[in-house]
Amino acid sequence: MSKSYIILNKIKEEQSVIITQKTKESNSHRRIKEEAMNSTIVLRRRMESVQKNLQTTPACGATAGQSKSLENELKQIESEIETNTKISELESKSESKTQNEVDAANTLIFNQEKIVNELVEEVSVINDKTDYAEAQREVILEQKEEEKYEKDVVKVEVESFRANQTALSDESTLREMTAESQLLSRAYTAAITTFNKQKVIITKTMSTRTQNIQKLQKDL
């Protein structure tokens, strides 16, 4: 891209010199041509006047010298008109040639500018596509992040559900164990109570037997 701008600037620099020079030459040729054409117009008017005077001036007698002078002047005018015509034609060709060279120089600049503009347009299109691709990439990344977030949420929900189920199961087991423990505690309490009652009965029985034995020993 920068290379194209360098070429463009170089062409503009070189061709601007040519354009300036050839434009001056073209203007000079045009000015000379116009001067020759204007001179021809004046000469043709003068020629018409001389021709009229020549027609009314006899070529013999007292006016013979005047007539000869008019003829010479007419030839001189015709010669100058012919010269001006040639000058006008040559200057017209030169003007056309230099103008063509100016047009060619402008065309070179225009063509290079066109190349640069096309490159700028291509770069702009590439940048637009790059920006679009980057935007799409951002969208895709956002979508992936959302999908990942949704998957993470689902995963957490599943794990939470499983943990909840495990907790419910543990709670049920704990309840069963608690109930069993309560039953064992009640059975133990009942057994202790029964034991104590039996102990009291046995103690009384033993005390009675002891008394009876002591009484029997006294009696013997």
Long-range CB contacts (within 8 A, 24+) of 89-93: 91/29, 91/30, 91/32, 91/33, 91/36, 92/29, 92/33
At 40, give phi and psi (nearest 5°).
-65, -40
Structure tokens at 192: 């202790």
Compute the C-alpha angle 96/98/101, nearest 5°. 110
The pLDDT of residue 219 is above 70 = no
Is the pLDDT at 85 greater than 80? The verdict is yes
Specify the pLDDT at position 61.
66
Whether pLDDT at 176 is above 80: no
- Please give the Cα distance from 96 to 33 (Å, whole number): 12
Choose the weakest-confidence range: 65-74, 128-137, 179-188, 204-213.
179-188
Of the candidates 22, 3, 17, the residue with the CA atom closest to the CA atom of residue 112 = 3
pTM for this predicted structure: 0.49
